[in-house]
């Protein structure tokens, strides 16, 4: 009887010892795994290499922890990349603004000096100063408008874009006539309703036509029509020698296809258009076929 009881106690002790040993071993493995994860995180932070946290034991909680850390690293990596892109864009923006303002300022100061030294007629110098001052005013206005287009709170409502397009085209009548440009307009229908905002849409039309007047030749085509459930606005003009690089960069801030005409524009018009089209939940792209550049804007037709 005593022997049986002793044997039972021994078995219990052995079982408990085994359990304690296994638990201790498991805890030590968990601690080693946690230290390993901490070491990997520190390594990622120090060398900034694109790695993923790996584990060596099969434990559901540890697997979930590693998965959450990896997801965080992925979000962090994307945010860091976006921040770097944003910083580069800001740097380029400041550089472009500085360059584009420095040039007209230099010309203005040069003409003032020439007028003072009586080396040119005052009226000639004043006209040159006026042109450059006008350019600087346009650039500042476009910069404010670009910021406005990016940050503006837009309340979408049903609008008929047909009368808006017609009104804005008529507002360019004198400029088109002065440049001897043929304006071809095709509007399919009298009512094309989409979710938009009138002032933003007006600005899109103004910038597209203004851009065509500055950089295009011979003619401007404006088309507004419905294709299935999509409303399309296409503004086209003759523009020789456009490259694939131009098409890829055409909506970037300060980018101009024809650098020789840079004194007539700021390179912000199409960037503003893209921001506004995007804010109005539309799509925009550029196409170039047979010396003709087309800017194509698309919006979903409002359901009846």
CB 61 within 8 A of CB 77: no
Question: Quick one: pLDDT at residue 298?
Answer: 94
Determine the 3-state secondary structure of 214 from DSSP.
Answer: helix
User: Using CB atoms within 10 A of its CB, is residue 259 exposed (0-12), middle (13-18) or buried (19+)?
Assistant: exposed
Mean per-residue pLDDT for 82-108? Answer: 75
Q: Please give the domain boundaries of the chain with CATH numbers for all domains.
A: 2-57 (no CATH), 81-150 (1.10.287.130), 155-300 (3.30.565.10)
pLDDT digits (tens, 9 = 90+) for 3-38: 556 677 777 777 777 878 777 777 777 777 777 777
Question: Quick one: pLDDT at residue 297?
Answer: 95
Cβ burial 209-227 (10 Å sphere, 16+ → b, else e): bebbbebbeeebbbbbeee
State the number of CA atoms in the 13 A half-sphere of 44 facing the CB: 18
Q: What is the Cα–Cα distance from 107 to 88, expressed in whole angstroms?
A: 29
pLDDT digits (tens, 9 = 90+) for 218-232: 899 999 998 888 899
- Residue 1 clears pLDDT 60, i.e. is over it: no
């Amino acid at each position: 009887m005593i022997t049986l009881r002793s044997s039972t106690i021994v078995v219990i002790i052995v079982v408990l010892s085994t359990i304690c040993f296994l638990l201790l071993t498991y805890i030590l493995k968990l601690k080693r795994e946690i230290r390993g994860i901490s070491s990997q995180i520190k390594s990622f932070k120090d060398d900034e290499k694109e790695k993923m946290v790996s584990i060596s034991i099969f434990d559901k909680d540890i697997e979930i922890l590693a998965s959450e850390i990896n997801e965080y690293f992925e979000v962090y990596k994307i945010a860091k990349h976006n921040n770097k892109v944003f910083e580069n864009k800001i740097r380029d923006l400041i550089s472009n603004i500085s360059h584009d303002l420095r040039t007209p300022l230099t010309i203005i100061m040069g003409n003032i000096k020439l007028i003072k030294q009586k080396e040119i007629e005052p009226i000639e110098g004043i006209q040159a100063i006026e042109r450059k001052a006008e350019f600087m005013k346009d650039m500042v206005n476009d910069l404010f408008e670009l910021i406005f287009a990016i940050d503006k709170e837009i309340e979408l409502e049903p609008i008929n874009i047909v009368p808006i397009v017609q009104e804005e085209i008529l507002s360019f009548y004198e400029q088109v006539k002065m440049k001897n440009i043929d304006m071809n307009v095709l509007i399919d229908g009298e009512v094309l309703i989409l979710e938009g905002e009138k002032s933003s849409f007006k600005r899109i039309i103004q910038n597209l036509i203004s851009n065509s007047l500055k950089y295009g030749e011979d003619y401007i085509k404006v088309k507004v029509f419905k294709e299935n459930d999509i409303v399309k606005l296409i503004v086209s003009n003759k523009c020789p020698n456009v490259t694939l690089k131009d098409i890829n960069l055409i909506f970037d801030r300060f980018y101009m296809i024809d650098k020789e005409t840079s004194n007539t524009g700021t390179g912000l018009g199409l960037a503003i258009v893209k921001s506004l089209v995007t804010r109005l939940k539309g799509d925009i792209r550029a196409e170039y076929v047979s010396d003709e550049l087309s800017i194509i804007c698309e919006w979903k037709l409002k359901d009846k």
